[in-house]
Homo-oligomer: A and B are copies of this chain.
Amino acid sequence: MGSVGLVTPQQMSFSEPLPLKSGAVLADYALSYETYGSLNAERSNAVLVCHALNASHHVAGVHADGSVGWWDNLVGPGKPLDTGRFFVVGVNNPGSCFGSTGPMHVNPATGRIYGADFPVCTVEDWVDAQARLMQRLGIEQLAAVVGGSLGGMQALAWTLRHPARVRHCVAVATAPNLSAQNIAFNEVARRAIVTDPDFHGGHFYAHGVVPRRGLRVARMIGHITYLSDDAMDAKFGRALRAAELGYSTQEIEFQIESYLRHQGDKFSEYFDANTYLLITRALDYFDPALECGGDLARAFAVARQHGFLIVSFSTDWRFSPARSRELVKALVDNRIAVSYAEIDAPHGHDAFLLDDPRYHGVMRAYFDRIAGEGMR
């Protein structure tokens, strides 16, 4: 198994406006993307990888600055998603902050930076934008769409929104919608950002500041939900940073505090506050059953021609196995071919990013099956 090696992101511009679910329109936008492997002559071996909250088009390989793709352990030559067989595409969603058009870019309609005026995007809007990119890359039909967490929601939405343009859906550590508790965590994070005086109503760019306090708190909250209680106890427990307690309310006493503050600090250096708001809202809104009166099985009736792999992790309390089983049930109710793996892993939601042999074994087997279906 090797790395896809040095990768250079590409950029594609779109002049045709993208109509959004909200009724707004995104005009003159560009998408950053990367590709790994080669598109075969039949153009039948393309796999789209969708990213979650804080990731990007940089799925695999290494950038010139040394940064490694976020799913590099899964995607590469000889890896479970084998770039020797598949043409893999990673794309940064509009509204994100890693190269595609987003809140920090200039709104062509006003000549000013979008900021908080960037239109709210939904999972379906992203999928539409991705579909246009596939068209431009000459990919009429994807062999598969893959994603974890929010990326898994996009993979699911592909089968509903563009059923003829994708054959398989691989949705990992995801859910058919957010629970009230999920929304609650998002809302607290958003309030932390929005009420930071440096947010300036979302137009902080003009003030030369960044709402770092809010971003730090948002990221700390997020991190708690990404790890399992047990994984946190195993990794940090009640370990102290110093030999003795300092009896201070503001200084760091426990290692877990040090870890969280570090994660918050790092995040606030690179992530855009408006993007955080937009992406958590896309999570909140995703609910394919809504238009079918809450009947998830009816929502997936359109996906009868697809193959599905659903994967969940035993200690994921953000998107628990029970939520994945809802998806499996809706698919089974439609007599859709679905493979389901519930991986016993200690890491919580973050497990979908980690290199677990059972998890990767399941992924490898499923992609082997896709490859064997005669895409060549």
Interface residues of A (CB under 8 A from B): 21-24, 116, 119-120, 177-181, 183-185, 187-188, 190-192, 194-197, 202, 213, 216-217, 220-221, 223-224, 227, 229, 232-233, 235-238, 245, 247-250, 253-254, 256-257, 260-261, 264, 274, 277-278, 280-281, 284-285, 287
A217 contacts B197, CB within 8 Å?
no
B233 contacts A179, CB within 8 Å?
yes
**11 A-B residue contacts at CB 8 Å?**
A21-B247, A22-B247, A116-B250, A120-B247, A180-B233, A180-B236, A180-B237, A190-B250, A247-B285, A249-B278, A253-B284
B180 contacts A238, CB within 8 Å?
yes
A195 contacts B217, CB within 8 Å?
yes
A221 contacts B188, CB within 8 Å?
yes
B247 contacts A24, CB within 8 Å?
yes
With contacts A190-B249, A192-B192, A249-B281 taken as known, whether A180 is within 8 angstroms of B217 at the C-beta atoms is no
B181 contacts A232, CB within 8 Å?
yes
B191 contacts A220, CB within 8 Å?
yes
A284 surroundings in chain B (CB, below 8 A): 253-254
A238 surroundings in chain B (CB, below 8 A): 177-178, 180, 183, 287
With contacts A180-B233, A247-B22, A256-B180 taken as known, whether A217 is within 8 angstroms of B188 at the C-beta atoms is yes
A232 contacts B278, CB within 8 Å?
no
Q: Which 5 A-B pairs have the closest CB atoms?
A: A22-B247, A249-B277, A180-B232, A195-B213, A120-B247
With contacts A191-B216, A238-B178, A264-B191 taken as known, whether A250 is within 8 angstroms of B221 at the C-beta atoms is no
A247 to B23: give the CA distance in the assembly, Å.
9
B187 contacts A257, CB within 8 Å?
yes
A21 to B185: give the CA distance in the assembly, Å.
35
A245 surroundings in chain B (CB, below 8 A): 22, 285
B229 contacts A179, CB within 8 Å?
yes
Whose C-beta in chain B lies nearest to the C-beta of A224? B184
With contacts A116-B249, A120-B248 taken as known, whether A191 is within 8 angstroms of B179 at the C-beta atoms is no
A180 contacts B249, CB within 8 Å?
no
Whose C-beta in chain B lies nearest to the C-beta of A190? B249
- Beyond the given A195-B216, A253-B284, could you list 6 further A-B residue pairs with CB under 8 A, ordered by the A residue number? A177-B238, A183-B256, A185-B224, A187-B260, A194-B249, A195-B213
With contacts A24-B247, A120-B248 taken as known, whether A184 is within 8 angstroms of B277 at the C-beta atoms is no
A254 to B281: give the CA distance in the assembly, Å.
11
A50 to B180: give the CA distance in the assembly, Å.
32
B188 contacts A224, CB within 8 Å?
yes
- Nearest CB of B to A157, in Å: 16
- Nearest CB of B to A262, in Å: 12
- Nearest CB of B to A223, in Å: 8
Whose C-beta in chain B lies nearest to the C-beta of A221? B188
Whose C-beta in chain B lies nearest to the C-beta of A21? B247
B184 contacts A256, CB within 8 Å?
yes
A224 surroundings in chain B (CB, below 8 A): 181, 184-185, 188
A180 contacts B235, CB within 8 Å?
yes
A264 surroundings in chain B (CB, below 8 A): 191
A109 to B186: give the CA distance in the assembly, Å.
44
B180 contacts A192, CB within 8 Å?
no
A254 contacts B183, CB within 8 Å?
yes
A120 surroundings in chain B (CB, below 8 A): 247-249
